[in-house]
Amino acid sequence: MNLDSAKWVVGEDYNAAPTCATCHMSATKNQPLTHNVGLRLKWNNRPVHSVPAHKTDEKWGLASAKVTSEERQKNMSDVCTSCHQQNVVDNFYIQYEGLIQLYEEKFAIPGENLYKLATAVLMTNPDYAKFAQMIDFTWFEIWHHEGRRARHGASMMAPDYTHWHGTYEIAKHFYGKFIPELREIIEEYKHEPKAKEQVEALKKALDDLYKSPNHQWAVGKEDMETQKRRAGAAKAFKERYNQK
């Protein structure tokens, strides 16, 4: 590491022990130094749903909104290829965006819809208070903590954070806490005349959830071909790690 270099170009002055500044701030042979750490980020993964980073800048009225998410990806790819081959970078983005899509389609979209429908039921109670129900905290944990960790973990190539602190905990709490709490709300309000319409809407959405290929496994309704593939993958995994 050429610590005496004023220009501090990644891949030229150093190529080991990357830090946050390496990817987000350092100069490359094609880019100057920057103190805007968001100009190499394609996605804003902070909200419930990931959005192109420049859209957030537009919302906030920032001049950096003119740098599109596609340009930001190119900026980051330029940093990456200072030390890695292009196919490594391309494969990273395939995995990263695949995780974002999986989280979005499997949990974020249906989860937010179910949460809003459950809130509509709870609001029929004259004593309802915003963010004072257990379902409020559970959904917040799922998207704000575990959902963010999964997406950020994938963006940083951190498999433990992506899976064990991310998707695993999302699924554990989605099926083990969120869904049971929705069922409790349905059970508690199903005989309330003023909540009848809201309860039916929530019940239908919950029933529809398990018709989705993303969730059929949780109620044993996957098609036989999918079940065979899953069993085969599990068998191969066990054989691989049982080898002496």
Q: Are residues 142 and 71 in the same domain?
A: no
The tens place of each residue's pLDDT in the chain, 244 residues long, gives 787 888 778 888 877 777 888 899 989 999 999 999 999 999 999 999 999 999 999 999 999 999 999 999 999 999 999 989 999 999 999 999 999 999 999 999 999 999 999 999 999 999 999 999 999 999 999 999 999 999 999 999 999 999 999 999 999 999 999 999 999 999 999 999 999 999 999 999 999 999 999 999 999 898 899 999 999 999 999 998 886 5
- Please report which helix (H) or strand (E) contains residue 140, including its range: helix 134-140
DSSP letter at 16 equals S
Cβ–Cβ under 8 Å, residues 37 and 24: yes
Dihedral sign computed on CA atoms, order 222, 183, 198, 110: negative
Q: Does 202 map to a domain? A: yes
Q: Are residues 63 and 155 in the same domain?
A: no
DSSP letter at 230 equals H
Q: Are residues 148 and 43 in the same domain?
A: no
Q: Does 231 map to a domain? A: no
The pLDDT value given to residue 9: 85
User: What gap in Å lies between CA 58 and CA 101, rounded to an integer?
Assistant: 23
The pLDDT value given to residue 18: 78
User: What gap in Å lies between CA 121 and CA 190, rounded to an integer?
Assistant: 10
DSSP class per residue in 89-102: HHHHHHHHHHHHHH
The pLDDT value given to residue 244: 53
Q: Are residues 120 and 169 in the same domain?
A: yes
| pTM of the full structure | 0.89
Residues 6 or more apart whose Cβ sits within 8 Å of residue 160: 153
Q: Which of 174, 118, 119, 182 is nearest to 145 (CA)?
A: 174
Q: Are residues 52 and 123 in the same domain?
A: no
Residues 6 or more apart whose Cβ sits within 8 Å of residue 154: 95, 96, 99, 100, 162, 166
Q: Does 146 map to a domain? A: yes
Number of domains in the chain: 2
The pLDDT value given to residue 105: 98
Q: Are residues 76 and 130 in the same domain?
A: no
Residue length of the chain: 244
Q: Are residues 93 and 203 in the same domain?
A: yes
The pLDDT value given to residue 151: 98
The pLDDT value given to residue 99: 98
Q: Containing domain of residue 176, as a range?
A: 86-209
